Structure 1
């Protein structure tokens, strides 16, 4: 049985199991004599069935996220207005605008130009080892702003072309070495895409989920600069581990290959000078970044009490800036055909609506868990079982980060974050612990899914090329999970306290 068939068989079995288990869990909890108020009791059945549907992917994840709040209204858990209000959260519009910006950059070809430009740098030219490093750095940088899946899909063809060019210059007896180099390059690209997502608030969906729960349930609002101040160093430290380990485990077969320089230069020259559409897309992107960073910069320059700073804090919220930038791309002329904007509206509407539904459903479930008292009940139960481990700030951070790190290997990172963040906030509050450092580390851990092809879409895309052995992904992934866990602990214990966000 080939890899694709094995993966398909696993998915079929998983969905069948989930299709049976979800209703059993739902009705089992409904009739179980739980010591909970009526709305919390009914919500527990909805929540548990939703978790099963998310883990087993019986139906699309976005569809499950829509069913959960609708079912909660039908079962008199909460009014419809409260159940569906989270779908209009400003953070939903942050992600929506981010999707539109990514589509605009891709529509004009600016993403491919940036990748080729990076490979054409003097420090890369002719060196397969440095070319792989450039691929990893480029993937990390792109996924800070574009979804991990989109970045992987965008850069995989470039990486395959790079590996093919290098392999084409090899002698027949050296082919195994070049095959291992290609394997390491694709894994580096995949993991860099996942890691880059933690660096900015819009890099990946779990970040947005955590920000929403922290703001609504804890009363803590982190701005763009604050997130970057811990997300970027943590991501860069983990990326460095990936690059070093890939070079040791999948070494470059030759020190220099002039054909690589020629191929990259040929493709870059073929693009010609930047088109008006590319320049305008880049300008809108830089305008959005400026809007995201401006409130933090003004705090440093003018002080938090200055009227201009207060205006920026109030009016330049991340979701507003992202939405304005996304719509602007649909208005500014692209220069290719008369009257066509940088991002045509019909193409803008091809954005990932399923992820937006998934975010809204996760927000809604989390809010209902707090409103009904279910989150507090689960938290107190966990404290009773965990005892002294969860009673200290570092103990709670270490235990919950480890749990989420491995849970995300078999569950969507969005689903994992939606499930765990509201519960962990309640656990921390019940224990009298500041939940902020735990939630931040857990959120980053949700993006550290490195071990299996089914762990995350970037893994699946890379594995689908047929160039990666499953045992190579598992071995690399397990090592990276363990080292990444140590990086997250260092972030929680050292970096966050230094930034005033710690234990």
Structure 2
């Protein structure tokens, strides 16, 4: 007994030393990266400006801290925001004003809606239905949620709205499996799979996000060519489906669920719990009606002007739903203490979003993209070589952006102008070349799956607390790498077959 205890103490001591070493390396890397960029990178009026250089330095330092986690995430958030202000990367009012951004309020409202599901047991009813019918194994439960994400991508034209809708169900499902945030591989993979299937399914559907529609409009304005819904679906959806299936198996290898199969006894207990819930009570019906109202507002945004004479965006729709949940006499949440909001992760979101926005606002992000493309040599060039370079930039450029809209606004004019310049060199039709380069670039806009601040759905799922930044980074980079290979193969084969390649 003493020997076993001694071994455990020795193991804990070794683990503690390794943890301290990781922290030291992380802090050192953050300082070195910040200093190298802040001191050595040159600035110019026509290129990278001082505030852009400072934003890039802070971003790289923050990146090192996110991955190594020497401090809690909320501490890193404060460090990041202070650094942005002191280096003049972004002014104090703008940095602190991030707390008022719609993504932060959307997260607050999503957790109020989640609390309503928990209080009324509506979330438990839905999660139990999924488990007893499709999720008798951990793998089956995750697959069921992936399929649901793909289906609702056709119905709800917003990645943010879909994440806010699915998060409460995912959290309840994790609770049914007794998944502990930060410890459970099942909970980790469940949230990562939801996040990735949300984003990647969007890339296969023209109307699943406004960024896709913007990309098509850029092509039409530049060439006069109309890209149809069916063209987009046929070209992009096979890549989305194959990649997410591969990603599912990669996730199982990286984070094997600690529960492989629900035992017959556990399943019987769940079925009994489902039966014991009985018919829906008044509060559950209220909660369901509130969710349906919110869902209706999310699904019908393209008709809001005709119906309400104004657009109700996903954040405002979520706020309406959250308010209905809290409203005395109508709502289902009787006291504020029943609302569970992870404020530590909300603070992380503010800090991460602030540094990402600073990269956008200071011009550092577009400067990096333009600098890379301007260095591509057109001597002895082939279409596939250019295609491979442009797709790599398009797919991985999401690391320095926090908005799909901003990213497509920067990438589209740059790639279109580059394609028109390239057309005479390749002796190609300018319109066909723009489509062959720009449309695949548009397919990558939603592949922003490697860091929490890169999109609103990322922040929403990260706020669940089930996985760390480095978990998302590792899984995301692998899936993006697989996606890149898929796009290269498609460029040589599939895109030519469906008529968008050269």
Q: Structure 2 length normalisation: TM-score?
A: 0.61
CA offsets per residue over residues 120-149 of structure 1, 9 Å max, x none? 44xx6xx967x8524531476489545988
CA offsets per residue over residues 270-312 of structure 1, 9 Å max, x none? 323323222211211111110111123x38xxxxxxx515x45
Partners of 1:47 and 1:365 within 8 A in 2: yes
Partners of 1:401 and 1:485 within 8 A in 2: yes
Partners of 1:397 and 1:492 within 8 A in 2: no
Partner of 1:287: 293
Other structure's SS at 2:280 match: coil
Other structure's SS at 2:301 match: helix
> What is the correspondence of 1:128-167 to structure 2 with a 5 Å cutoff?
132-134=139-141, 136-138=143-145, 141=148, 144-145=162-163, 154-159=172-177
- In structure 2, relative to structure 1, the CA distance for the partners of 1:80 and 1:446 (3 Å cut) is closer
- Work out whether 1:379 is the aligned partner of 2:369: yes
How well do the aligned residues superpose, as a CA RMSD in angstroms?
A: 5.9
Partner of 1:55: 67
- C-alpha separation in 1, matches of 2:397 and 2:347: 26
> What is the correspondence of 1:263-342 to structure 2 with a 5 Å cutoff?
263-296=269-302, 298=303, 308=306, 311=308, 314-331=310-327, 333=329, 341-342=332-333
- In structure 2, relative to structure 1, the CA distance for the partners of 1:262 and 1:442 (3 Å cut) is closer
> What is the correspondence of 1:252-263 to structure 2 with a 5 Å cutoff?
262-263=268-269
Partners of 2:58 and 2:355 within 8 A in 1: no
Partner of 2:395: 401
Partners of 1:213 and 1:363 within 8 A in 2: no
Partner of 1:182: none
- Work out whether 1:25 is the aligned partner of 2:33: yes
Partners of 2:145 and 2:194 within 8 A in 1: no
- C-alpha separation in 2, matches of 1:242 and 1:44: 30
- Work out whether 1:102 is the aligned partner of 2:120: no
- C-alpha separation in 2, matches of 1:295 and 1:154: 28
Partners of 2:395 and 2:480 within 8 A in 1: no
- C-alpha separation in 2, matches of 1:216 and 1:71: 34
CA offsets per residue over residues 435-488 of structure 1, 9 Å max, x none? 9726524314668xxxxxxxx97999599xxxxxx9xxxx99999776666667
- C-alpha separation in 1, matches of 2:371 and 2:109: 39
- C-alpha separation in 1, matches of 2:198 and 2:65: 29
Q: Which moved more, 1:379-388 or 1:99-108?
A: 379-388
- C-alpha separation in 2, matches of 1:285 and 1:258: 33
Other structure's SS at 1:315 match: coil
What count of residue pairs does the alignment treat as equivalent?
A: 418
For structure 2, which runs of at least 5 residues remain unmatched after alignment? 1-6, 150-160, 203-208, 219-228, 419-437, 453-460
Partner of 1:344: 335
- C-alpha separation in 1, matches of 2:362 and 2:463: 37
For structure 1, which runs of at least 5 residues remain unmatched after alignment? 162-185, 205-210, 221-225, 300-306, 335-339, 405-414, 448-455, 464-469
- In structure 2, relative to structure 1, the CA distance for the partners of 1:215 and 1:490 (3 Å cut) is same
CA offsets per residue over residues 201-245 of structure 1, 9 Å max, x none? 8x99xxxxxx8999999999xxxxx9xx98999776656557789
> What is the correspondence of 1:130-279 to structure 2 with a 5 Å cutoff?
132-134=139-141, 136-138=143-145, 141=148, 144-145=162-163, 154-159=172-177, 190-198=188-196, 240=245, 262-279=268-285
Aligned equivalent of 1:442, options 425, 439, 447: 447
- C-alpha separation in 1, matches of 2:464 and 2:60: 27
Partners of 1:292 and 1:321 within 8 A in 2: yes
Partner of 1:410: none
- C-alpha separation in 2, matches of 1:144 and 1:4: 42
Q: Structure 1 length normalisation: TM-score?
A: 0.61
